[in-house]
Structure 1
């Protein structure tokens, strides 16, 4: 847990709040809601943005609550930045090297080897929207019902309906308070509706699936890219598996990575099918103690979380060798 506050920002400078590239719902909503928090404090120079195109469920939920998606700024060169929902350099907006990072609000491990901003708030919650929601509630900021619903959706999405191993009691508490404000009495039904709008994978091409929720990591010099596909039935995606593997191989020919992974996560069965490619993909057998079928497919029962269950063993393996 980390909370460093030594604010030395000039009042009046425009400060842009941005989530990571290839943003998931939490990256966009946490930027949006952190702008609300800052404005409630009188800091009207804080502006939420996104650095990349949003996915289908993000478009749907903002439209559902009749709210505007933050504006798109792909290159943040020369700007003052607040990073939300990420710190890893490979996930930052284009041009971050020529920007000034003045604050971080996140729920992931801190990766700031290149710069240390004067203001850092890190909490080990399941969602950055939980952290921002906590700030808003503790500051007694009035949250509009549609904004509360938006934030609840982001928490549900990032914690897999509060069932992921990354979920904390704080996530459940903030989700409960937001649901009350939003007038959403049945969180389970709301979660199913959200995931129904997300479970559109059979309609997408392989490259669209892979790029919907994708994150890149540096595992002690080993390049790892992990896509998470959350579905109500990963067995239905079996017909897509050959297409996805071919696309992974195609990507590795044009943009080589040591390991590329697609996680087909089943939210009902609580399991995961991993599809993998790369010159170090065979290391996954040692990392997870399970054989890769046909060299590229692995079944992991009880695995739901990229952040908690898939990435850490990979990072640990390459740190030790």
Structure 2
């Protein structure tokens, strides 16, 4: 695969390229914010359809500007795109988050891979998946199957730990389901709410800005 350019808003961890490329990386809430900014910089106006797609990306990534990753730039460009798309961000947000439960509409193995990232800390590899739900009822009804899927994925990929962050859009709180070594689970300082593998994480909604720094801090102290 020949990489031509990278536009992203996550922490760096990319592999080397064979030649110089365009690389844009900004600490904003969504890559769609960066893309919209490029439209403005070059004096271009997206079609209403493309503007709506970028709005959806910003709304989804930032939980409609409620995530700690949100920045004033995200809001400014969301407002700009709203005028082009002809839809209010509040209206589009309701449509997106009411579209259906990922947990109800997907198999457990699909739920944990729909929005999943694999990280490396030292010699340890681990995965963190995230889904957003309206309430936690669906999670509690399917937690055993989701844990089994995490364990299967962890074994298949030879990971130190596999986890699923389930975020309640209404309360802006999350639960973390963990399949991993006992020595790691015992170091998690958040309250255990079920079976030594589910942790209550009030106020945690951002995988990138809140959860990953916490998990990597725990893993740094873990013997390889």
Does the 8 Å contact 2:26/2:34 carry over to 1?
A: yes
Structure 1 counterpart of 2:84: 181
Deviations 1:110-144 (A, max 9, x none): 22453474432111000011011011012110211
Deviations 1:157-193 (A, max 9, x none): 1111111110000000000000011001x31121110
Structure 2 counterpart of 1:304: 205
Distance 1:147 1:177, change over 3 A: same
Structure 2 counterpart of 1:169: 72
Does the 8 Å contact 1:214/1:226 carry over to 2?
A: yes
Structure 2 counterpart of 1:81: 3
Q: TM-score, normalised by structure 1?
A: 0.64
Tell me how far apart the structure 2 counterparts of residues 288 and 307 of structure 1 sit (CA, whole Å). Answer: 19
Matches within 5 A, 1:8-23: none
Structure 1 counterpart of 2:35: 132
- Corresponding pairs, count: 221
Tell me how far apart the structure 1 counterparts of residues 58 and 183 of structure 2 sit (CA, whole Å). Answer: 34
Corresponding residue to 2:184 among 283, 290, 300: 283
Which runs of structure 1 show a deviation greater than 4 angstroms over 4 or more consecutive aligned residues? none
Structure 2 counterpart of 1:319: 220
Name the Cα RMSD after superposition.
1.9
Tell me how far apart the structure 2 counterparts of residues 117 and 283 of structure 1 sit (CA, whole Å). Answer: 40
Shift of 1:282: 4.5
Shift of 1:287: 4.3
Corresponding residue to 1:151 among 54, 57, 78: 54
Shift of 1:253: 3.1
Corresponding residue to 1:209 among 86, 111, 114: 111
Classify the secondary structure of the residue corresponding to 1:274.
Answer: strand
Does the 8 Å contact 2:127/2:163 carry over to 1?
A: yes
Classify the secondary structure of the residue corresponding to 1:174.
Answer: helix
Structure 2 counterpart of 1:221: 123
Classify the secondary structure of the residue corresponding to 1:228.
Answer: strand
Corresponding residue to 2:160 among 253, 258, 266: 258
Classify the secondary structure of the residue corresponding to 2:34.
Answer: helix
Classify the secondary structure of the residue corresponding to 2:28.
Answer: coil
Structure 1 counterpart of 2:145: 243
Q: TM-score, normalised by structure 2?
A: 0.90
Structure 1 portions without partners, runs of 5+ = 1-75, 83-102
Structure 1 counterpart of 2:22: 119
Classify the secondary structure of the residue corresponding to 1:81.
Answer: coil
